[in-house]
Amino acid sequence: MSMNAVRANIAIIGAGLGGLTAALALQRAGLRPLVLEQAPVLGDVGAGISVTPNASKALISLGLHDGLEQHGQAVPVQEVREGATGRLLKSIDRSDVRERYGAAYYMVHRADLHAMMVAAVRANDPDAILTGQKLASLAMAADGVEMTFDNGTQRRADVLVAADGSRSLVRSQVFGADKAEFTGHVAWRFLVPAGAAPAEALAPGSRVWTGQDRSFVRYAVRGGQLINCVGLTRTGLWRGEGWSQMVSAAEMRPEFEGFMPEVMQLIAAAPGGRVNSWGLFVRPMAESFVQGPVVLLGDAAHPMLPFMGQGAAMAIEDGVVLGRCFAVSANPAEAMARYQAVRLERCRFVLEESALGADRIQQDGADNKRLARNEDSLGIFDYDPATVAI
């Protein structure tokens, strides 16, 4: 711990990627945070996830380079193609991404990344994560936060880090509830074993097919054993929030009717004929990430739409910056003020660009100007949360 580092009792609500990043970064700062997770057992759900160079730099700064190399696949190329004809609209060579941005662009199974981070946190402190801790209520105290959990447990912390997602209980109780609005977009997600996938889907890199009000992406994870597939559609269909909802793949097929055979074959190969499907809802970014001893992180602060694949990356960036701020500050208030000053503008910018991403990608035709406004041209990958001035 540095001479100026904060000495504080810190609780983190949520053991997702953002909460675990914050835990690792705070541990690096010499602190001993406690992560409180509502699930009875750890095991992140999900499928593939993009770890873009800005997020890779954050994770590497926490000592996770070897894990990323083991579990992730570097992306050699990204393609955008017309859904109906397969015509190539844009190809992005990623072979030089390490040299350009200082870290690789990985595709990884979310559960593998989560398990790697859990292991790293527990290697530092075997008692750092408690499961079965569903927050019921909290109250501000003169010297911190008093928390009550569904199991009757009560806990106190000097600082509470809310990493509990877009439907954050902490945010609603401390900062006020914000209404969620359905965007009209529905997400579809599934994993296809490589042996059941069409041969074209085994090609390296990622491929996006685009058409009016719909897009579909596929890429390999787990060393090519699984093909991660995600569809996004703007449709009259209404669906509630939540990744765990399963529906018949027969509901998905009409949404992509007329797309290339590779897309339709992947949908047909969805295991058990079932896919995850959920509605995309928008909530405003918090006007402030800090209130008293409470600080918001990840989707609790700035819930992102998925059209630039930056939701997890922003939470990971948040966690690294928060830990660095605590490492150089004299007290929690200073650390959280530094964190907010660093993160507000960055998060607002990426959130706004992500919201505009649907209109850029989900169109017919070859208007390359719309595809030119991307993570590279916007400088999103240049950001390094491990070195940004705090």
How far apart are alpha carbons 360 and 354 in whole angstroms?
10
Q: Report whether 381 contacts 374 (CB < 8 A).
A: no
Q: What angle do the packed helices 17-28 and 110-124 form, to 10 degrees?
A: 30
Q: Which residue has the tokens 């970014």?
A: 285
Which residues are catalytic, by number? Answer: 219
Q: Which helix (H) or strand (E) holds 208?
A: strand 206-211
Integer Cα distance of 82 and 209 in angstroms: 5
223 conformational bin, left if phi > 0, alpha if psi -120 to 50, beta if neither: left
Rg of the chain over all Cα atoms, to the nearest angstrom? 21
Q: Within a 10 A sphere around the Cβ of 258, how many other Cβ atoms?
A: 12
> In angstroms, rounded to a whole number, what is the distance separating the alpha carbons of residues 19 and 3?
25
Q: Which of 21, 22, 29, 37 is nearest to 4 (CA)?
A: 29
Three-class DSSP category at 207:
strand
Neighbours of 377 (CB within 10 A): 9
Report the C-alpha gap between 36 and 362 in whole angstroms: 39
